[in-house]
Structure 1
Amino acid sequence: MENEHVYLQVRDELRMNVNQQPHMATPYGQPQPGYQGYPQPGYGGDHVPSGYPAQYAPYNGPGSAYQQGPPQGYSPYASFPSKTLATNLVSDLSSSSPLDLGTRGPPTSGAPPVSGAQNYSQFGQGENQNGPPPMGAPPQRPPVSQPYTPGAVNLPGPQHPYGQRFGAPPVSMQHMTNQMASMQVGSTAPSPAGPGYAPPSVSQAAVSAPYTPAAPPTFPPASTASSQPLPTEALAQAPPHSYYGALPPVQQPFQNAVPTFSSAGPTQPQAPPPVSPQSFPQAPPISQPPFSTAQVHPGPTQSYRGPLPSTQSSFPRPPHPTSQPSAFPAGPPPTSIPSQLPGVMQPQPPVSQPSPYHSGPPTTSTGFPPQVGAPPRPSFPGMQGPPMASQGPPMASQGPPMASQGPPMAQANHILPTQPGMPPGPINASLSGPPPQPGMQGYPPQQNGAFGQVRGPQPGYTGPYPGQPNYGAPPAAPASAPAAPKRLDPDSIPSPIQVIEDDKANKGSEPFTTGVRGQAPPLVTTKFQVKDQGNASPRYIRCTAYNMPCNSDMAKQSQVPLAAVIKPLAPLPPDETPPYLVDHGESGPIRCNRCKAYLCPYMQFSEGGRRFQCGFCNCVTEVPPNYFQHLDHTGKRVDCYDRPELSMGSYDFMTTVDYCKNNKFPQPPAFIFLIDVSYNAVKNGTVGIVCQELKTLLDYLPRENPDVESNIRVGFVTYNKVLHFYNVKASLAQPQMMVVSDVADMFVPLLDGFLVSVSESRVVIESLLDQIPEMFADTRETETVFGPVIQAGLEALKAADCAGKLFVFHSSLPIAEAPGKLKNREDKKLVGTDKEKTLFQPQVSFYNTLAKECVAQGCCVDLFLFPNQYVDVATLGVVPTSTGGSIYKYTYFQAPSDQERFLNDLRRDVQKQVGFDAVMRVRTSTGIRATDFFGAFYMSNTTDVELAGLDCDKTVTVEFRHDDKLSEETGALMQCAVLYTSCSGQRRLRIHNMAVNCCSQLADLYRNCETDTIINFFAKYAYRSVLSSPTKNVRDSLVNQCAQILACYRKNCASPSSAGQLILPECMKLLPVYLNCVLKSDVLQPGADVSLDDRAYLRQLVSTMDVAESHVFFYPHLLPLQKLDVESMALPMAVRDSEERLSRGGVYLLENGLNIFLWVGVSAQQELLQNIFGTPAFSQIDPNMTSLPALDNPFSKRLREIIESVRAQRSRYMKLMVVKQEDKLELIFKHFLVEDKSNSGGASYVDFLCHMHKEIRQLLS
C-alpha cells in the first residue's frame, strides 16, 4: 500500500492539464442587423429562465465569449434549459461535389492539446488582431520518421521471424510492454507525440544517476543439440473451435537463458549493462539487431504472492443453446466504466520518464517481449529440433524491480542507447534460486498507467508461451514434469474501465475547443464542455479517424474505416449554446457557385472582400453587395467573429421559398394517433392507457417558443379489421365516428374536422379519449390490418398538404385480408444457415413501396408494438426505419410492470425535437467523397439522404472513400447540410462543418483514431450485411478486417518483436474486446431463446444509435453499489463486465441503454439490503419489483437519484429488473457480462484476444 500511495502521489503531482483556455475577455464589436440568433451571454452570464430557452431571439452582436487569446467566436456558454428545441438541419437537392473517404478500420483516442493563448488586442493592429482563424494550420507533429511506442503481448503460438524484417531498431523509441498469460505486465507510459498532442497523464520521476554507454555484450552461440525439450504447455491442448481455427503448435522452452538489459530511459530506451558471462544452451542462430549497454543502478525490490495459475481455456466450441426467458427482449452486450480489481497491492511507478517527443502513438502490449542479450531465437525453416521455452518467470521492467543482479527481465521491444545525459531506468537486484513455481512467492503487481498498462496482480509463471524463447529469465531448474496449464490473466490485458477513467481524468476538467483541426475529442463516456471555434462539436459529428490517409493505397493498406457518425439535431447540455439562426435575406444563404457548399469558416476571401474561394472545390465566387465587408491586413473580414457562419462549426440558416416544395412555404406539421382496438390490445390494457395518457400529453406537443402554443394539429384513428376515423371539430358537442371497411382502397372519409388544434378542440378530444375504451371494451375481433393504417395516415397528410408523424400502437401480426397481409414465417431451423438472411428481409414488397410514398410526403412513422407472439418486426419495421421513425417493443406487455416504461417512452417521443421532410447532403473537399450511408432513411439517388422525420436521437453514419490524393497542408473538409421543416412550419438549413488532418504516414493515422466510433461503424455495417449474407460470413469479415488493421500496425508502425507478442496501438487497444461484444450480440450470434423479432428489432435499433448509445449497448456499465458514498455526488468506479468481478457480498447496478439490472449477492450485508429494499433478509427481496421503495435513508435516496440520472442520459426509458444471485433471472443478467464466454458460443475476452493474435500472425507470416 505504501508503494501505491507513492505512485498515486507522483501521478497526481505530474499530471498535465490539456486544452486549458484563458479566461474570457469582454465582448467587442457592434450589433449586426439581419440575424436571429440567441443572445450571447459570457462565461458569467445568467441562465435562461424557464423550461425552454428563447430559441431564436434577435441577434444583437457578439457576446462576452471573446478572449485575449484566440477569439471564441459565437460560443457563449451560459446555461440554457435542457428542453431546448433544436433547430432543423439544412440540406438541399442541388448538385454537389463528389465525396468519398477510404476503407474501414478502427478508431483512436486522445487529442492534441489546444495551443496556448495568443496575443490579442481588441484595438491593436497586430497580426493577431482577430485571433487565429478558426481553421488554422494543423498542429505541429513530430517527424514521421520517429518510431512508434510499441508494446507486446505474449500469446501462444509459434514464432515467425518476421520481426527480423524491420531491421535495426530506430534511434529514438519509447517502449511499453504488457505481458499476458499469467505473466507480469511492465509498461512505460508513452510520452506525447510532440507539439499538438496530449501529454501523458502520468509523469515518472527520473533517476539522477548518469550512465555511460558500453559495448554490447557477446553471447556464445546456442545449439539445439544440447537443449532438452520440456513438456509442452497446456495452453493449446483443447481442440479448437471449427470457426476460429486451431491454436498454434506448442514449442519447448530454452533453459538457463539469463540475458541482461536495462529499462527504457526518459527519451530513448536504455542499453543493457555489462553482465558476467553466462552459459546458454545452443539453438539455431538467428539474426538480431545489436544493442548497446550502459551502467545502471539497482532499484528497490518488491514481491507478492500471486494467484495460482489456472487452466487455459480453448477457443470457443460451436454455440450451445441458451436458456433465457423468452419474455425478455435480449439485446447485445452492454458497456462499462473503467475500474480495477479492488484490494490489489500497487507497486511503485517506474522511475524512467517517457520521451516528450515520442513520435508514434503509444502501443499497448500484453505479452513477453524478446530479451536483449539472450541466445538467438530459433528460425523455423530448417529447424533441427523443436524450440523450447525457458522455465524462468518473466519479469517486468516498468513494475517494481526484482531482487536480481541484472536489470528487469521484461523489456520493451528493443533496448536502444539512451540520449547522453539522460538518467537510466530501474534495474533489478540479484535473484538467486529457481524461479517461482505455482504456490510459491510470485511477482509484484504492475501499475496501470495513464496509457492502459494493466494494474493488478499477475500469477506466478514458470515459462513463456509456447513458441516463445524465454530471453532474459532467471536460470531455470531442469524440468522433470510437465508445466502446469496456464491461461491469460484478465488483469494483464487492456481494461475498458481503466481507459475510460484515464480519459475522464485527463480530459474531463477542461473545455474541449474545436478550433484545432484534426483534434480527437474526449471519449463519449467523459463529461466535458464544448467550445465551438470553427469545427462542429463532437456531439454532432464524431469521426473514426481524425488523421485521414492522403491516398487510397494507404487507406486500403490500413483497413481503418473512414467514416463519420453525424447526429444533426443532437441535444446539448445546459452549459452549451444551440446553433445560431442566420438570415441572409431574400436572396437566401450564400453558397459556392460550383459545388453549392454553404458559406463557412473554410472560405477564403480575396480582392478586398469582393470574392471568396471555396474550401471544398476551390471555385471563386462573387460576394453579394449586401454581404460585402472589408478585410483586415491578415485577409480576414473585419466582421468575421460577428458572423456565426464565418467563425463557428454549426449554425442554422433561414431559407427562402426556393428551398420549399412546389415553391411555397410548408404548413405546420400534424400528429396522427392510430390505436389498435383489437381483442389483444383491449385485453392487455394498452387502449385505456394510451387514451388516458393522451389527454395530458397533448399539452406538451413540440413548440418553438414555450410561451406560444404548438402549431401542430392532431388527429385520431382506431382500427382492427376496419378503420374508424373521428371528427373532433371544435363546433361539435360530441365526436363523430366514420368507418372505412374497404381497406383495399383506403381513403379519408372527412377533410374538415379530422386534423384540429388541441386548444380549440380540447373538450371534444377529451370526450373522444374517454369513449374509445368503453366502445371497444367488449370486442371479440382478433384480426388486424397494418398496411391500410399507414395508408390512412398518409392520405390524411396529403389531403392537408403538410408533413407529419404517425404514432401507431399495434399488437399482433396483420393477418386480416388487406394490402400488406402477412403470414407467420418464424422458422428457427433457418438460424445459422445460408437462408437465415431471409428472416431479416421484409416478407412482402408492399411496405417498401409504402415507405417510399411516405418519404415523398414527409410522413414519419413511429411504431409501438405490444406483441404476445411473432409479429414479423423485420417487415413491419420497414416503414418506420425508412421514414426516420422509431420502433418501441414491449413483449408480453403487462400494465403493472411495463406501463411506466411505455408511458415515459411515449412522452419523450411526442415531446422531443423533430424536423420534418428533411433532406441531408454531405459535401467534401476534393479528393474524397461520401460513398455509403447507414441509418433510418430513404435514398432515391446516391447523394441525398431523405428523411420524412429527423428527431434529436437519430444519427446518420457516412463512409468516405478516396477519389484523388489529399494534401497534408489543406487537410480534408466535410460539410453536412440538412434542409428540414421545423415544428412551427419554418423551412431551415442546419450546417455542420468538420475539418480533419491528412497524413502520409501510417503512424499518424493510428495515432488519431477513435475506437468507439469505429465500433459503431462496424456494428452498423455488420447489421446491414445480415440482410444479404449469412451471419457466420459477417462475423468472419469483421474478424478479418480487425486483424488486418492490427497486422498493418504491427508490420509498419511497431518495433521488431517476437511473434509471441500481440502489439496493439494505444488508441485501439480496446478494439478486440469491443469487437468481440459485437460478434457475440444477439443479432450476429443469438442464444436459443432469442426470438427472431427481437433480433430484427435490435438490428433496426442499432442502425440509428449514436456513439454513446452503441458504446453502452455493447459494453454495459456495471457499478458496485456497496462502494457508493452517499456524501459524494461522484459515482463509484465501475467494474469490468465479468462474473469474476462480482462479489457475493455486493450489490451491482448494470445498464445497457435498454434495461437496468440490480444484482444482489447472496451474502450482501443486511444493513445494505435494509437501506435498499427495506428488508434485511435476502430471501424476502421481491424479484418482481420494477421500482425501488422510497425509503427515508441517505443510501436509498442516492441510489434512486443515480437510477433516474442514468435513465435521463438514455433515449429510451430503462425498466428496472431485480436479479438475485442464483435465481432463474440471473441467466439474463449474465448475458450482459460480455467479457465472459456466452451461452450462445461467443468467446470470452481472453479467448478472443488469443484468436486475434493467431489471425494477425497468419497475416504477417
Structure 2
Amino acid sequence: MCPYMQFIEGGRRFQCGFCNCVTEVPPNYFQHLDHTGKRVDCYDRPELSMGSYDFMTTVDYCKNNKFPQPPAFIFLIDVSYNAVKNGTVGIFKQENPDVESNIRVGFVTYNKVLHFYNVKASLAQPQMMVVSDVADMFVPLLDGFLVSVSESRVVIESLLDQIPEMFADTRETETVFGPVIQAGLEALKAADCAGKLFVFHSSLPIAEAPGKLKNREDKKLVGTDKEKTLFQPQVSFYNTLAKECVAQGCCVDLFLFPNQYVDVATLGVVPTSTGGSIYKYTYFQAPSDQERFLNDLRRDVQKQVGFDAVMRVRTSTGIRATDFFGAFYMSNTTDVELAGLDCDKTVTVEFRHDDKLSEETGALMQCAVLYTSCSGQRRLRIHNMAVNCCSQLADLYRNCETDTIINFFAKYAYRSVLSSPTKNVRDSLVNQCAQILACYRKNCASPSSAGQLILPECMKLLPVYLNCVLKSDVLQPGADVSLDDRAYLRQLVSTMDVAESHVFFYPHLLPLQKLDVESMALPMAVRDSEERLSRGGVYLLENGLNIFLWVGVSAQQELLQNIFGTPAFSQIDPNMTSLPALDNPFSKRLREIIESVRAQRSRYMKLMVVKQEDKLELIFKHFLVEDKSNSGGASYVDFLCHMHKEIRQLLS
C-alpha cells in the first residue's frame, strides 16, 4: 500500500491524494494497538505522530515512470555595454557558485547573441560557441555545458576571470531576453532534468528577437482607468514561455540592474509564474552595491529549494479552498504547479465556509506537495492542520489574526490592480475593513455612544496597517516612484509570508539611544511617525528591503563617537554603507543587531545613513507610515476618523 494514502472514515480503505485511486487496507493493519486504541508504532511512523512530514515516492509518482535526474543551475549573464559599464560583469569573478555536489552548472553570456561555454574538466581553457540565430534558439553543445563544480572548478574560475576581459570594450547596447530563457529551458530539456536559471539582465530587450519589447512608460496613465495596463505584460510571449518552463520544472530567478525603464511587469512574468524570485538593483554601482548583490546571489544559490512541484490543498466538509496567491502556475482549479519552491516563498490560500462545521471536530486542512529535491529524489511533503470552529461571532473576533488579514488584503489588492483602477481597489479595501468592524460593533460590542469608535481587541491595529497598504507605492505612488518599482513591489508582496509583509508595511523603528549593551534585548520599537523622533537620538529603521540609520542633529557626542568614531555630527559620512568596527561595546552590539536583522530577511539590506535635515531624509520619511504621505495618503489619525465615519454610515 502507498504510504501517502488518506484514510477514509467508516471502512478499511485509503484514497491516494494525487490519483484518487482507492486501496483496501491489509486485514492486520489494526492488530497492533495498545490499550487506548493507539497503534504501538505510532511514534515510529511520521504520518501517525507528526503534522508535517516527507515521504520518498515510488517511481509511479515520477514523470514518464522514471526517477528524475538531479537538477541543474544555469547562469545567464548580460554582457552588453550597460552591464559592463555599471560593473556587474566584473563582479562574477569574485564569486564562484557554491552548490551541492550533485547539481551541475552551466554558463551563458549574451547581448544580441548568445555565447555558450564548454567548461569540461579535461579542457585547459573554456571554449565559447556563439548562437546568433536567436529566432530559433538551440543549445550548440551538450557534453561539457552542464558540469560538476567540484570537477570543473579550475575551468569555471578561468571562465569567470576571462568574461570581463572578453567584453571590456564592447559597444553593443541592445539585448535580447526571451531567447535567453529559451536557451536555458532547451538545455534542461536536453539534459532531461529540472533546474534553475539565474538571469542577470540590465536593459529593456529591444533587439530583434522573440519577446522584443518597446518602452511603454507613460506616467500620464497613472490614476486613470488605463493604469492597469501598466501592470500587465505587454506581449503574450512570456506567458507561453512560462507555461513551457513550468512543464519542464525550469525555475527562473531574475537579477535586474536597470538605469532606466526595463518593463518589470513583462520581464517578471516568467519568474513569477515559475516560483522564482526577482531582485532589482536600480542605478547599480559596484563599489557601493556589490556587497548587497553578492549576498543576495550567495543566499539564492544556497537556499533550500524543491523543483517540478505540484501542490494540492484538501479540506474536511464545510470549507474549501477557493483561491490562491503567490508565484506559481495553475492549469486547473486544484493543482498549484511550481517549477521551483524555495524557503522564501509563501502560497496564500483563501478558504470559503459554505457548509455546517462542527465545534467538536473542528475543520481539517491538508497541503500535499510532490517535488524533486536538489539531490534528485522525488518526495511528497504533507502538512496536516486541525483548527477550532466557533458558532459565536465574539469568539471569532477574539481569535482573529490582524497580521494575516493584512497579508491577505495586500495580496488581494495587488492582484486586483491588474483588472481594476487603483482608486477602486483602495475603496474596496476600505469598504471591506469597515464591514468587518461594523459587524463587530453591531453584534459583539456593548451598547455605547454612536460617536465612540469601538474595535475588537485583536483588531485594534487593523486601521493603521490597512492605511499603510492603501498608501503603499503600488496603490498610491508618489511622483518619484517609477512604474518598474511598482511592478517589482507588486510581484514581491505576492510571495511574502505574514512576518515579512508585517514589517514591509509597518517598518521597525528602534531608538538606539535607549540600547542596553549589557542585554540581548532590543530597545522597545517606537511608532513610525516624525513626532516620535528626537533631535538628540539615533534610530534604526528597517522594512525587509531597506535599512536606515537616522542621526539627529543634536545627537550626543558620546553616542556619535561610539557609532561612527567621531563626536561631530558634521563629520559623519552619509555615503557610508557599513559602520566602522570600533572597539567599544555599543559599536559591537549595534553591528550585531544589524547583522541579526539582515539574517532574518530574505533580501540583504544595504545600510543607508541619514543625517537629519539632509536630502536623504525625504526617502527616510517615506517609511514613517503614520504620517501623511507626499502622494496624498492620509495620516493614521485622519484615516481613523475616516474609518469611523464609514462604520457609522453602515450602521445607520
Normalised-by-shorter TM-score class? over 0.9
Q: CA deviation at 1:928?
A: 1.4
Residue pair 1:1139, 1:1230 contacting (<8 A) in 2 also: yes
Change (3 A) 1:831 1:607: closer
Q: Quote the residue 1:629 is aligned against.
A: 31
- Number of matched residues? 650
Deviations along 1:771-811, whole A, 9 cap, x unmatched?
Answer: 11111000000000000000000000000000000000000
Q: Distance in 2 between matches of 1:1007 and 1:1174?
A: 50
Q: CA deviation at 1:617?
A: 15
Q: Distance in 2 between matches of 1:939 and 1:603?
A: 24
TM-score using structure 1 length:
0.50
Residue pair 1:925, 1:972 contacting (<8 A) in 2 also: yes
Residue pair 2:393, 2:444 contacting (<8 A) in 1 also: yes
Residue pair 2:30, 2:39 contacting (<8 A) in 1 also: no
Change (3 A) 1:678 1:846: same
Q: CA deviation at 1:631?
A: 2.4
Deviations along 1:564-600, whole A, 9 cap, x unmatched?
Answer: xxxxxxxxxxxxxxxxxxxxxxxxxxxxxxxxxxx99
Q: CA deviation at 1:1003?
A: 1.4
Residue pair 1:918, 1:980 contacting (<8 A) in 2 also: yes
Q: Quote the residue 1:823 is aligned against.
A: 214
Change (3 A) 1:979 1:1190: same
Q: Distance in 2 between matches of 1:900 and 1:705?
A: 15
Residue pair 1:704, 1:983 contacting (<8 A) in 2 also: no
Residue pair 2:98, 2:301 contacting (<8 A) in 1 also: no
Residue pair 1:669, 1:983 contacting (<8 A) in 2 also: yes
Give SS of 2:155's match.
Answer: helix
Q: Distance in 1 between matches of 2:607 and 2:13?
A: 60
Q: Distance in 2 between matches of 1:600 and 1:1046?
A: 48
Q: CA deviation at 1:634?
A: 3.0
Q: CA deviation at 1:758?
A: 1.1
Give SS of 1:942's match.
Answer: coil
Q: CA deviation at 1:752?
A: 1.0
Residue pair 1:916, 1:947 contacting (<8 A) in 2 also: yes
Change (3 A) 1:1216 1:606: closer
Q: CA deviation at 1:1218?
A: 0.4
Q: 1:864 pairs with 247, 251, 255, which one?
A: 255
Q: Distance in 2 between matches of 1:739 and 1:614?
A: 49
Q: Distance in 2 between matches of 1:1131 and 1:938?
A: 41
Q: 1:620 pairs with 16, 22, 27, which one?
A: 22
Q: CA deviation at 1:970?
A: 1.7
Stretch moving more, 766-775 or 951-960? 766-775
Change (3 A) 1:998 1:830: same
Q: Quote the residue 2:338 is aligned against.
A: 947
Q: Distance in 2 between matches of 1:1195 and 1:1100?
A: 38
Q: CA deviation at 1:1160?
A: 0.3
Q: CA deviation at 1:635?
A: 2.7
Q: Distance in 2 between matches of 1:612 and 1:786?
A: 48
Residue pair 1:704, 1:984 contacting (<8 A) in 2 also: no
Deviations along 1:373-432, whole A, 9 cap, x unmatched?
Answer: xxxxxxxxxxxxxxxxxxxxxxxxxxxxxxxxxxxxxxxxxxxxxxxxxxxxxxxxxxxx
Residue pair 1:808, 1:864 contacting (<8 A) in 2 also: yes
Change (3 A) 1:627 1:1183: farther
Q: CA deviation at 1:607?
A: 12
Unaligned runs of at least 5 residues, structure 1: 1-598, 690-702
Residue pair 2:99, 2:301 contacting (<8 A) in 1 also: no
Change (3 A) 1:1065 1:860: same
Deviations along 1:163-183, whole A, 9 cap, x unmatched?
Answer: xxxxxxxxxxxxxxxxxxxxx
Give SS of 1:834's match.
Answer: coil
Residue pair 2:328, 2:337 contacting (<8 A) in 1 also: yes
Stretch moving more, 705-714 or 1108-1117? 705-714
Q: CA deviation at 1:641?
A: 2.9
Change (3 A) 1:964 1:606: closer
TM-score using structure 2 length:
0.96
Q: CA deviation at 1:614?
A: 11
Q: Distance in 1 between matches of 2:179 and 2:28?
A: 52
Q: 1:997 pairs with 379, 383, 388, which one?
A: 388
Q: CA deviation at 1:616?
A: 14
Q: Distance in 2 between matches of 1:750 and 1:784?
A: 22
Pair 1:931-2:322 in alignment = yes
Q: Distance in 1 between matches of 2:613 and 2:426?
A: 32
Residue pair 1:609, 1:629 contacting (<8 A) in 2 also: no
Q: CA deviation at 1:622?
A: 3.4
Q: CA deviation at 1:624?
A: 3.6
Give SS of 1:608's match.
Answer: coil
Q: Distance in 2 between matches of 1:683 and 1:706?
A: 23
Q: Quote the residue 2:42 is aligned against.
A: 640
Q: Quote the residue 2:78 is aligned against.
A: 676
Change (3 A) 1:626 1:762: farther
Change (3 A) 1:1188 1:830: same
Change (3 A) 1:997 1:1166: same
Change (3 A) 1:966 1:951: same
Deviations along 1:1070-1116, whole A, 9 cap, x unmatched?
Answer: 11110000001000000000000000000000000000100000000
Change (3 A) 1:708 1:807: closer
Residue pair 2:317, 2:355 contacting (<8 A) in 1 also: yes
Q: Distance in 1 between matches of 2:449 and 2:384?
A: 44
Q: Quote the residue 1:663 is aligned against.
A: 65
Residue pair 2:95, 2:294 contacting (<8 A) in 1 also: no
Residue pair 2:98, 2:302 contacting (<8 A) in 1 also: no
Residue pair 1:1102, 1:1110 contacting (<8 A) in 2 also: yes
Change (3 A) 1:642 1:1067: same
Q: Quote the residue 1:813 is aligned against.
A: 204
Deviations along 1:666-705, whole A, 9 cap, x unmatched?
Answer: 000000000000001011110110xxxxxxxxxxxxx999
Q: CA deviation at 1:625?
A: 5.9
Change (3 A) 1:996 1:923: same
When you count helix as a share of all residues, which structure comes out higher?
2
Q: CA deviation at 1:630?
A: 2.2
Q: CA deviation at 1:734?
A: 1.4
Change (3 A) 1:707 1:819: closer
Deviations along 1:924-982, whole A, 9 cap, x unmatched?
Answer: 01121111000000000000000000011101000011342222222111000001000
Q: Distance in 2 between matches of 1:777 and 1:951?
A: 35
Q: CA deviation at 1:1131?
A: 0.8
Q: Distance in 1 between matches of 2:552 and 2:466?
A: 30
Residue pair 1:812, 1:871 contacting (<8 A) in 2 also: yes
Residue pair 1:1138, 1:1235 contacting (<8 A) in 2 also: yes
Q: CA deviation at 1:769?
A: 1.2
Stretch moving more, 1216-1225 or 642-651? 642-651
Q: Distance in 2 between matches of 1:1229 and 1:1087?
A: 14
Q: Distance in 2 between matches of 1:1096 and 1:840?
A: 6
Unaligned runs of at least 5 residues, structure 2: none
Residue pair 1:1008, 1:1067 contacting (<8 A) in 2 also: yes
Change (3 A) 1:977 1:602: closer
Q: Distance in 1 between matches of 2:127 and 2:4?
A: 58
Q: Distance in 1 between matches of 2:196 and 2:16?
A: 38
Residue pair 1:1219, 1:1225 contacting (<8 A) in 2 also: yes
Change (3 A) 1:948 1:708: closer
Q: Quote the residue 1:1177 is aligned against.
A: 568
Q: CA deviation at 1:814?
A: 0.3
Deviations along 1:813-855, whole A, 9 cap, x unmatched?
Answer: 0000000000110000000000000000001000000000000
Q: CA deviation at 1:858?
A: 0.3
Q: Distance in 2 between matches of 1:888 and 1:1070?
A: 31
Q: Quote the residue 2:458 is aligned against.
A: 1067
Give SS of 1:714's match.
Answer: strand
Q: Distance in 2 between matches of 1:706 and 1:791?
A: 22
Deviations along 1:158-207, whole A, 9 cap, x unmatched?
Answer: xxxxxxxxxxxxxxxxxxxxxxxxxxxxxxxxxxxxxxxxxxxxxxxxxx
Q: Which has the higher contact order (CA 8 A, sep 6+)?
A: 1
Residue pair 1:832, 1:1030 contacting (<8 A) in 2 also: yes
Deviations along 1:93-130, whole A, 9 cap, x unmatched?
Answer: xxxxxxxxxxxxxxxxxxxxxxxxxxxxxxxxxxxxxx
When you count strand as a share of all residues, which structure comes out higher?
2
Q: Quote the residue 2:378 is aligned against.
A: 987
Q: Distance in 2 between matches of 1:726 and 1:810?
A: 18
Deviations along 1:1233-1252, whole A, 9 cap, x unmatched?
Answer: 11111111111111111110
Change (3 A) 1:754 1:1242: same
Residue pair 2:99, 2:302 contacting (<8 A) in 1 also: no
Q: Quote the residue 1:887 is aligned against.
A: 278
Deviations along 1:429-463, whole A, 9 cap, x unmatched?
Answer: xxxxxxxxxxxxxxxxxxxxxxxxxxxxxxxxxxx
Residue pair 2:252, 2:277 contacting (<8 A) in 1 also: yes
Deviations along 1:315-341, whole A, 9 cap, x unmatched?
Answer: xxxxxxxxxxxxxxxxxxxxxxxxxxx
Structure with max Cα Rg: 1
Q: Distance in 2 between matches of 1:858 and 1:1137?
A: 43
Change (3 A) 1:607 1:1121: closer
